[in-house]
Structure 1
Amino acid sequence: MGLARVGVAACDPDGMLATPLKTLRRDEKKGSDLRALAFLAAERDAVQVFVGLPRSLGGGDTESTRMARAYAEALAVELRTAGSGAAVRLIDERLTTVSAHRALREAGLDGRRHRQVVDQVAAADILQQALDMQKSLQRDVGIPVDDGLRPHDGR
């Protein structure tokens, strides 16, 4: 999730492989990006939605970290409002955009095309990281986000 764009990725029903899906334009005033994400989650019967948490290299919070938390909370509310039971979880995304840019350069994409897909590729990296960690640890990973609309179970 950036200031201008939101990368979206999805995985197969077995939670094995993350793939880039689309890039949404951020719409802070009307929230159309949040509604689009809620629609995509419902359409795909999502169980969890991961939002990247951009911490500093030292692991601390930044203004971007605070924006990501606020975005995740707004998304959790939008999902509940839309009737989705998908849980929203924050997952550390340090260096995923850097990694996505590198992979796209190595694939030979030019700068303009780069910008169109880098957020999707970063989203797929974040999702794959979460899927791999969950599979390895045999539990949910990331920080649960409370939507403020129902009791939070702490998982």
Structure 2
Amino acid sequence: MRRGRRLAVDVGDVRIGVASSDPDGLLASPLETVPGRDLPAAHRRLAALVEEYAPLEVLVGLPRSLNGGEGPAAAKVRAFAERLARGIVPVPVRLVDERMSTVTAAREMRDSGVSSKKGRSRVDQAAAVVILRSALETERTSGQPPGQCVEVVV
């Protein structure tokens, strides 16, 4: 397992959830919800978080269908990740499978007693935590970085 903090991002049309790991990759914690409607502002805020936290990499959840295919939402996230990668070089951006992350996050929040009304503003952060936990576990078990690296084309 590589040592270093990771940031995970759950990209939505309205909100973008952000989570962070500790430098040893043992814990994933919610960090912030970034408004997602103004993409240039969202990218600036994410770049500022990258500068502040100095992560080893940024993991962006890639929405796939249950059979593994990609639809319009995945295309949006790929474009978002490519733009993010151009803005935060030299920190690598990796796309990781996020199937069921929001459903899992909502269930975990509900099970811990957070009402759906109060949880709406935090479910994106919780989904980013789910994405990050999954990516950390993948790296721990495989010994390889999770997902696929976003190539920056100049």
Q: TM-score, normalised by structure 1?
A: 0.89
Q: Between the two proteins, what is the percent identity of the paired residues?
A: 41
Gaps of 5+ in 2: 1-10
Tell me which residue corresponds to 1:71. 80
Distance 1:33 1:27 in 2: 8
Tell me which residue corresponds to 2:129. 124
Distance 1:142 1:18 in 2: 17
RMSD: 1.1
Distance 1:110 1:129 in 2: 25
1:114 alignment partner, one of 119, 130, 134: 119
> Is 1:143–2:148 an aligned residue pair?
yes
**8 Å CA contact retained: 2:17, 2:124:** yes
Question: Secondary structure at 2:42's aligned position in 1?
Answer: helix
1:55-104 deviations in Å (ceiling 9; x for gaps): 01111011111011011001101112xxxx21000000000100011111
- Runs of 4+ in structure 1 displaced over 3 angstroms? none
Larger deviation: 17-26 or 103-112? 103-112
Given residue 84 of structure 2, which amino acid in structure 1 is its aligned partner? L
Gaps of 5+ in 1: 150-155
- CA positional deviation for 1:111: 2.1
Tell me which residue corresponds to 2:110. 105
> Is 1:8–2:18 an aligned residue pair?
yes
Distance 2:109 2:133 in 1: 17
- CA positional deviation for 1:107: 1.4
Distance 1:20 1:121 in 2: 6
**8 Å CA contact retained: 2:13, 2:37:** no
